Amino acid sequence: MRLLLLAIVLACFAGNGFAAERPNILLIMADDLRDYGGAFTREVVKSPNLDRLRARGTTFARAYVQYPVCNPSRSSMMTGLRAEQTGIVGNDIPLRQKRPGIITMPQLCKDAGWQTHAFGKLYHLGGGKDPAKQTVWMDTGRSWHTAQAFDATKAGRTILQGRNVTGGALNWCHWGAADGTDDDQSIRTTRWRFTHWSDVQTELYDHDNDPEELHNVASQHPDVAKGLMATLRKIPKPQP
């Protein structure tokens, strides 16, 4: 935990030459994971894209969580403090309620001149369907210039199979395999990777000329994108 925080802080406060370049900083967070597969040191889950991404950065393999729920670990990652120091030991209280004046990792970069934006689950996402409460939980305005939670498509919210792993003791503790439409799906060939998002935006990457996927070339190759979209629509959907 401390090492990862240090890496980002150094990016914000390094010497003038480095700071003047303002390098992009990408933080990907995932919790509730066990120690397997690809990026998680054991070859149980195959994650070639994650492996390719982490090969360009640093993997911290000893960043252990302190509590078996989301909010304490995410608050610790964002502040560099243990859960006993933040006062966050459950999923019921947002960070600022306990530590209103705390300077978070993205806030540090934001105050140093970076544009900071969040998509998905960086802090624990509480607040239910109340937009004002969701803003508080995501710490919009303090940590981020903008923050947006991921919203699955209607089909993507349909669970085909799954079960509660606690026998019903905890309503939220379950796994599920969700349905899906052509939205939010990708297809990969030897040269191209094409993604069609739920907001009707598309991405097309040419791995022959851009193996790191830095440039979306969907507008330059509309015929390729159209063909891959047609192929994507033909892929059979999973049956319940």
Is residue 124 annotated as part of the catalytic site, yes or no?
yes
Which residues are CB-contacts of 231 (< 8 A; sequence separation ≥ 6)? 187
Residue 133, φ and ψ in degrees, nearest 5? -70, -35
> Catalytic: 70?
yes
Task: Name the catalytic one among 12, 70, 109, 196.
Answer: 70
Following CA atoms 105, 110, 114, 117 in sequence, which dihedral angle do they give, to the nearest 10 degrees? 80
From the candidates 12, 109, 124, 196, which is the catalytic residue? 124
Active-site positions read 70, 124
